[in-house]
A and B are shown apart, each in its own frame.
Chain A
Amino acid sequence: MHEIGTNPQGYAAPSQAAASAFATELIALLPRLRRYTMTLTRSASESEDLAQAACERALRAQAQWQEGTRLDAWLFSIARNLWIDQLRKRQREGASEALDLHPELQGEDGRQVTESALTAGSVQQALEEMPSEQRDLLLLVCVDGLSYRDASDRLSIPIGTVMSRLSRARLGLARRLGMEPR
C-alpha cells in the first residue's frame, strides 16, 4: 500500500526514463480520471480542480507508486481521498465556497491517507471469485455499458433486482479490493 503524507523526500527519486513513462501513463488516464471526478463533483470546475489536484499529488508522490500495480486505481483513490478530505474540511469549517483542493494537504488533520495499490490481476481475480450472476451483471453494466433497463431486459430480471444485485456486486468488489471506507 502507498502512504501519502509522508515526506516524499524520504524516497529515492525515479529515474528520468521512469518519470517519463509514469507521466505518459498518467496523461493517458486523464480522460477517465476526469469522468470519475465529474461523477463525484457534478461540477465542471470542481471536477477539473480535483483531477488536477490528484495528478499533482500523484506526480509529487511518484516514488511511492509501486511499479506493477495499477496506476488508475492509485490515481482514483488519490482523487477520492482528496475529495472526501475536502468535504470533511468543508463540513467541519462550515465553509460554503468551492472545494479547496490545495495539493499540499496531507489528508484530513494531517493524518496519513492510504491509497490503493492493486496489482494488474487483482480486479480480474476478484471478479472470478464473485458469484457468476453478480459478475455477469457487473460486466454488462460496468464494462459493456448497458443501462439498468437494458441489463434488466437482457437478463430477464426485474430492474429492482438489477439494482440490488449490482450494488451488492459493486460493494463486494470494493471489499475484495480493499476499498473500505476510512
Chain B
Amino acid sequence: MTKLAVTDEELMALADGELAPDAAERLHALVVADPDLAERFAILAETRFLLEGERAEAPALPEKLPPAAPRLSVIAGGKPAAPDTTPARRWPRLALPLAASFLFVAGGLAGYLAGGGGRSESGIALAGFSRQGIDAALSQTASGAEASLSGGKLRVIASHKLGDGRLCREYTLTRAAEPGWDAVACRDAGNWRTEFLAAKAPPAPGYAPASGDTSIGAFLSERGAEPVSPDEERKLLGAGK
C-alpha cells in the first residue's frame, strides 16, 4: 500500500481539534496505521499539553495583544478525578484549508471542508449535506423553524447581525443516529459562508461536553453579533444580500 504524504501541519491540526470531524477521522485512521506517523502526531499533541502545564509560569503575552479570548468548549475527556482548571478546548474547531497532500489523496474531502478560512466556499457539501440545500434553507427558514434536507434536517436557532452589518444564522444540522452539528453561516454578497462548524459531542456516558452551545455564543460574541428581531430577520432575508 502506498504511504500517503501527511504534513506536520495536518498532524498538528488533528491534535488541536482544528479539522472537520470526517477529515479528522480519516487522518487519524492513517495515523494509527503508521506508528512513525503516530509518533510525530503524539509529539505534536504532547507539546500542547505540556504547555498547558506552563500556564502559571508562561511569559506574558506581548503587550500589544488584547487579552486572549476564552477557550470555547471542552474536548470529550472523561470524568475528571479532580477539578481541571484548564480552560476548555473546542472539539472540533473549524475545518481548515490544508495542504493538498493528505486531503487530496483522501478524495472528496476538500468539498467537505467548511468555510475555507472564511475566504472561499467552493465545496459542494457540508457535514455530508448538500450545500445547495443548506443555502436554500438558510435563505428561507425563519428562526425556530426546521427545514428538511436530503438525509437530515436543518433547524435555524437564531439570526444575528454582525458589527459589519452581515446577517448570520445560527443553526443545527441533524441526521439520524448522529449527534449532529452546530453551525453559523454569514451572508456575504448574497452567498452564505460557513464561519463556524462543530460536531455535537456524542452522548457517551461520562464523556459529556462541558457546555453545549457556549462555543457558538463565544464565537458570535467575539464578532460583535447582535440578535435580530423576527421582523428584521424577515426583511433581511427578503433583501437577499
Chain B residue with Cβ nearest A127: B59
| Given A30-B82, A34-B77, A76-B46; A143-B39 close (CB under 8 Å) | no
Please tell me if B234 contacts chain A, counting CB pairs below 8 Å: no
- Which residues of B from 138 to 182 have beta carbons under 8 Å from A? none
Q: Could you tell me which residues of chain B, from 65 to 94, have a CB within 8 Å of some CB in chain A? A: 65-66, 68-72, 75-78, 80-84, 86-90, 93-94
> Within the complex, what minimum Cβ distance (angstroms) separates B209 from chain A?
12
- What is the CA–CA distance of A95 and B49 in the complex, to the nearest angstrom? 30
Q: Are A123 and B54 in contact (CB under 8 A)?
A: yes
- B69 CB to nearest chain A CB (Å): 6
A159 to B32, CA, bound (A): 27
Instruction: Please tell me if A14 contacts chain B, counting CB pairs below 8 Å.
Output: no
B55 near A141 with CB under 8 A, answer no
CB-nearest residue of chain B to A83: B42
Smallest CB separation, A73 vs chain B (Å): 6
Per DSSP, chain A at the interface is helix
How would residues 168 to 182 of chain A score, 1 for a CB under 8 Å from any chain B CB and 0 otherwise? 001101100101011
Q: Write the nearest CB–CB distance from B64 to chain A, whole angstroms.
A: 10
Asked if A42 and B28 sit within 8 Å, CB to CB, the answer is: yes
Q: Give the Cβ gap from B198 to chain A, nearest Cβ, in Å.
A: 11
Q: In chain B between 1 and 28, which residues have their CB closer than 8 angstroms to a CB of chain A?
A: 7-9, 11-13, 15-18, 24-25, 28
> Chain A interface (Cβ within 8 Å of chain B)?
27-28, 30-32, 34-36, 38-40, 42, 44, 47-48, 51, 70, 72-73, 76-77, 80, 83-84, 87-88, 91, 118, 123-124, 127-128, 135-136, 138-150, 152, 154, 159-160, 163-164, 166-167, 170-171, 173-174, 177, 179, 181-182
If A38-B77, A88-B35, A167-B11 are given as contacts, then 6 extra A-B residue pairs at C-beta distance below 8 Å, sorted by A number, are A32-B84, A38-B78, A138-B51, A154-B68, A160-B97, A182-B39
What B residues does A88 contact at CB under 8 A? 35
B111 at interface (Cβ–Cβ under 8 A)?
no
- Which residues of A lie under 8 Å from residue B51 when comparing CB positions? 123, 138-139, 142-143, 173
